[in-house]
């Protein structure tokens, strides 16, 4: 998982581990996330959209290019449709709003790990006409 906010990473890690997921690495910027992805080769990677050095969408694009079996999820506060569309174009399979993480994170990770698309509630209707 990658987020430049350490308390957010701790909270997400606790949420994931409570649901039985194993967190194999943490990064505080996009470049670290890409390097860690290549080292650990996880099934699913959570990426904050707004990170230093390399944003989550660009990190996802690089990961998807070289590790096509690794699925990526953007976890962000940004709900604007153009971010969602850009993320999907980069190969992202999940887009979860941070405000909904407690309710949706486990379900989103499960669905994305199964090869399905997962969008936070309410986002699909916003982007459907634009995709």
Distance from chain centroid for Cα 34: 12
Question: What angle do the packed helices 56-66 and 81-89 form, to 10 degrees?
Answer: 20
Q: List, for residues 35-57, the tens digit of each pLDDT value.
A: 999 999 999 999 999 999 999 99
Q: Is residue 33 part of a domain?
A: yes
Domain of residue 36: give its range.
6-100
Percent of the chain with pLDDT over 70: 94
Q: Is residue 121 part of a domain?
A: no
Q: Is residue 26 part of a domain?
A: yes
CATH number at residue 82: 3.40.50.2300
Residue ranges with strand state E in the chain = 44-48, 71-76, 94-97, 118-119
Q: List, for residues 77-101, the tens digit of each pLDDT value.
A: 988 889 999 999 999 999 999 988 8
Q: Is residue 92 part of a domain?
A: yes
- Domain tally, the chain: 1
Q: Is residue 109 part of a domain?
A: no
User: How are beta strands 94-97 and 71-76 bridged, if at all?
Assistant: parallel
Q: Is residue 124 part of a domain?
A: no
């Amino acid at each position: 998982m990658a987020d430049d906010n350490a308390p957010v990473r701790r909270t997400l890690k606790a949420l994931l581990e409570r649901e039985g997921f194993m967190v194999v690495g943490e990064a505080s910027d996009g470049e670290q996330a890409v390097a860690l992805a290549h080292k650990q080769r996880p099934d699913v990677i959570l990426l904050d959209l707004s990170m230093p050095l390399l944003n989550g969408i660009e990190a996802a694009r690089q990961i998807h290019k070289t590790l096509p079996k690794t699925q990526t999820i953007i976890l962000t506060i940004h709900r604007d449709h153009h971010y969602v569309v850009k993320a999907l174009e980069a190969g992202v399979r999940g887009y979860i709003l941070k405000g909904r993480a407690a309710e949706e994170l486990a379900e989103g990770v499960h669905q994305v790990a199964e090869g399905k698309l997962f969008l936070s509630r309410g986002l699909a209707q916003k982007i459907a006409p634009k995709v």
